A = this chain, B = another copy of it.
Amino acid sequence: MHQYPKDDVRMRGFARRHTVVEALAWLDSVSHRLSTESVSLRNACGRILAAPVVSSVDVPAFDRSAMDGYALSAADTDGASAYNPLPLRVVGDSMPGCPFQGTVSRGEAVRIMTGAPMPRGTDAVLPAEWVEAETTAALAVVSPGKNVGRRAEDIAAGAELFRPGRVLRPQDLGVLSSIGCGTVPAVMQPRVRLVVTGNELVPAGSQPHDFQIADANGPMLSALIERDGGTVDFPGLVRDDGAAILESLEAEADVVIVTGGSSVGVEDLSPSLVREHGELRVHGIAMRPSSPTGLGRFGNKLVFLLPGNPVSALCAYDFFAGRAIRVLGGRQSEWPYRTFRGPLTRKISSQIGRLDYARVRIVDGRIEPLAIAGASILSSTTRADGFVIVPDDSEGFAAGAEVETWLYA
């Protein structure tokens, strides 16, 4: 046997595991929103607003018609009806972007399109439907202001439209455009270097031979990072080699996620590297799966050491790395999963002192735990509809108990 330093956990097991709550408390204390960048509207949907947006203009910037029809003095329609058509004298057109230039006198009307500026001298729009087509005679009465959109009725100059932290919606982009914004201040997206280690691995899309394994974590974690608003830097697999892993830890990034080699085996190099060259704050967490997870820092980067086991990697990503990526990117720390409450079809057993991540299916409104031996069955997370968390102060849930499920889809 090799000899290891005294504080090395390799081939000794974790002397003590941190609780999930302790690990999250440290993580939250070091996860800070990134700075701001300017993003074009075209790419701003789903991004997080970094500063308040206040309009400097009125929208609309002028009184406008809300209908296709005829702009006129409302008083000129007094008494008009289908039985008493009142002919209008049409003196011109007002089109969107091309207003009627003159002033309209009593008894006159201007043909007007929806959105077109109201001509001077008019105070209402008689919709086209209420005008006899051949004779342009009014067939109905309108009151002053009818079918007119007033200047600033949508947005008044000086109004605060959006607060920081807002997840920009499609219609927000429309509003931003209408006040003349072509770009928005958005929280920068966390740059995440993904370091997938394991000499047994071949890249996704390769056919593994003999005792090789095709990399499942690279595609899965890339998609999760993007879901949480990060950008992925994943240049390829990394050998179980200290120098190669150390070089990866030195990448230009906000977050480094290392998968594989996070535990107490002889090839588990990453924890020692982070301890030696950075700060390994948490190593070993009282949860199942994902117990051999490490959290730390390397320079200004947050480092997550995830087990290579794909279910453990998924669970540890969701508990720790995803949360930090969301917070760095200005998002809510909470999981982006919807929840469902229902009764358990069978009991879920756990141990006091350990948090459990139990995959479940929803069957006819009831929550059915999947019978899974280990943490290595990735297909359990694709057969499952979601998962139930058993907190570390619980021995589990009885059959029939109402529990909350976090839904994957």
Complex Cα–Cα for A400 and B130 (A): 37
Q: A105: CB under 8 A from chain B?
A: no
Q: Which residue of B lies closest to A317 (CB)?
A: B170
> A116 contacts which chain B residues (CB < 8 A)?
200
Contact B154 A378 (CB under 8 A): yes
Contact B177 A219 (CB under 8 A): yes
- Give A94-123 as 1s and 0s: 1 = Cβ < 8 Å from B's Cβ atoms: 011111000000000001011111000000
> Which of A76-84, A209-217, A246-254 lies on the face that meets chain B?
A209-217
Q: A169: CB under 8 A from chain B?
A: yes
> A279 contacts which chain B residues (CB < 8 A)?
none
Contact A226 B45 (CB under 8 A): yes
Complex Cα–Cα for A178 and B382 (A): 13
User: Count of chain A residues with Cβ under 8 Å from any Cβ of B?
Assistant: 107
- Give which listed residue, B129, B134, B217, contacts A174 with CB less than 8 A: B217
Q: A395: CB under 8 A from chain B?
A: no
- Give which listed residue, B127, B182, B314, contacts A171 with CB less than 8 A: B314
10 contacts between A and B (CB under 8 A): A11-B111, A13-B128, A93-B266, A113-B265, A155-B379, A170-B223, A171-B310, A173-B216, A173-B219, A175-B382
> A263 contacts which chain B residues (CB < 8 A)?
68, 114
Contact A213 B97 (CB under 8 A): yes
Chain A to chain B: the 7 pairs with minimum beta-carbon distance, closest first? A182-B205, A97-B200, A13-B129, A174-B216, A96-B200, A174-B220, A45-B223
> A373 contacts which chain B residues (CB < 8 A)?
149, 153
Contact B129 A12 (CB under 8 A): yes
Shortest beta-carbon distance from A315 to chain B in Å: 10
- Label chain A's interface by main secondary structure: loop
Given contacts A149-B376, A216-B174, contact A267 B113 (CB under 8 A): yes
- Contacts of A166-223 to chain B: CB distance below 8 A: 167, 169-183, 198-201, 204-208, 211-223
> A198 contacts which chain B residues (CB < 8 A)?
96-97, 115
Given contacts A128-B264, A206-B180, A379-B161, contact A408 B171 (CB under 8 A): yes
Q: A162: CB under 8 A from chain B?
A: yes
> Which of A27-35, A59-67, A295-303, A345-353 lies on the face that meets chain B?
A59-67
Contact B68 A171 (CB under 8 A): no
Q: A1: CB under 8 A from chain B?
A: yes
- Give A397-409 as 1s and 0s: 1 = Cβ < 8 Å from B's Cβ atoms: 0000000000011
- Could you list 13 further interchain pairs (A-B, Cβ under 8 angstroms) beyond the known A61-B208, A96-B200, A114-B265? A1-B133, A13-B129, A64-B376, A68-B265, A93-B266, A96-B198, A114-B308, A170-B220, A170-B223, A170-B227, A170-B314, A171-B408, A180-B206
Complex Cα–Cα for A218 and B212 (A): 49
Contact A11 B133 (CB under 8 A): yes
> A16 contacts which chain B residues (CB < 8 A)?
none
> A272 contacts which chain B residues (CB < 8 A)?
none
